[in-house]
Amino acid sequence: MFLVFLKTLVAFVVFGLVYFIIETLLLKIEEEKEIHKEKKWKKIISLDGVFLVFEKDPKSAKARNIKIITAVSLIAIFFLWSSKILISLFIGIIGFFLPQFLANMRKERMAKMIDNQLADGLILIANSLKAGMSFPQTLDVMARQGTPPLSDEFIEVGRELKIGVSMDKALFNMVSRWPSITNLRIAVIAINIAQEVGGNLAETLSRLSDTMRKRKEIQGKIDALTTQGKLSGVVTALTPFALFAAISWMSPDLMAPMISEPLGNIMLIAIVFLILVGFLIIRKIVAIDI
């Protein structure tokens, strides 16, 4: 009895460790990318080129080819490993949408980083304006002294200004690249209004930065209150896999039909699909934004 309990406990621990290790690695990669600006290091830790294909035009021929190659590769690998055509096809369908999903997840992380850095960036611009610099000069200061990825966006704005794009157009192009960042849109609109009608732009940006900080504080409290719901979604999604692994380990004959029989394969596919749907619904419920 103790051995059965120990095996079950080990299965739960393994699945929990896998999840947290993956999450930690993703966060570590983003931190390293923020600290180290060298292009070579970025190429080592990321697939920026592949992700940029989906960010620029997810319906392009290149993006479609990446999806097809990923799907076919996963089908071939899982079929050679398991000889189960149904499971392999299901994995291939997941693989077809996987590059787009990873690109969206990366862009969401980048957007969150830009949003978190925006308040400090506006303060830097405001202080530069108070020091007597013109607004284009403050953008250059932000590009040189800011923190990626926000500084990278201002570098792109500077490039557009050098080739003759107007200030308004360059700033709204930055907004169009990150439509999910509401604070960035508000900041650009405030800057354009201040430049058109006049006024103390430095004071406007300082107040806007304070407002953003207060919103972040409220959002942090909401995230703390919804942490239990998010954790419940993770546990709910991982528990069936942990139980399947534990039962397969303790009594392989009991779970063998799920792997060897076509009906069992269909049931596994349906189970994974329903678990994914339930996980996404829970995430949607606890995702409260202000």
Q: What domains are there in the chain, each with its CATH number?
A: 112-218 (1.20.81)
CA dist 214 and 125 (Å) reads 19
Across 16-30, 215-229, 244-258, 261-275, least confident range: 16-30
Q: Which of 221, 59, 53, 34 is nearest to 112 (CA)?
A: 34
Asked if residue 121 lies in contact with residue 146, where contact means CB atoms within 8 angstroms, the answer is yes
CA-CA-CA-CA dihedral for 149, 153, 154, 159, to nearest 10? 130
Name the 3-class secondary structure at 58: coil
| pLDDT greater than 60 at residue 16 | no
Dump pLDDT digits (tens) for 154-163: 999 999 988 9
DSSP structural state of residue 132:
T
Dump pLDDT digits (tens) for 96-131: 888 888 888 888 888 989 999 999 999 999 999 888
Please list the helix, strand and coil fractions of the chain in percent, rounded to the nearest 5, in that order. 85, 0, 15
Global pTM?
0.68
pLDDT grade for 2, boundaries at 50, 70 and 90: very low
CA dist 266 and 257 (Å) reads 11
